[in-house]
Structure 1
Amino acid sequence: MPRSDEASAFYHSVYSAIQEIPYGKVTSYGHIARLIGTHPLPLSLKLHIHSPN
């Protein structure tokens, strides 16, 4: 199923944010959510709902 433009933009923002995490460091959904300007729960739900599997 092809992703919508909104889902593609969302994944791009998440991917860009996680690229900023230094190698060997860990973070949380909350931290990533703050980096992209959203809340942790919607972040985890969107990642689950729009996952390629």
Structure 2
Amino acid sequence: MKFTILATVLTFVALAIASPIPVADDVSARQNHGMCVSAVDGGDPVQIDGC
């Protein structure tokens, strides 16, 4: 009985840690800079226009 309760609590804790955390608007704006880039064979990244 104690093991079942402990396992349930640990499962809930693991799910709470793994759940996605909402990001503030100012942070999400910085994460998506809106630039598409491409690189061939590990070369320098080149911006793709009109992406």
Shorter chain as denominator, the TM-score bin is 0.3 to 0.5
Greater per-residue strand proportion: 2
TM-score by length of 2: 0.35
TM-score by length of 1: 0.34
Structure number with bigger Rg: 2
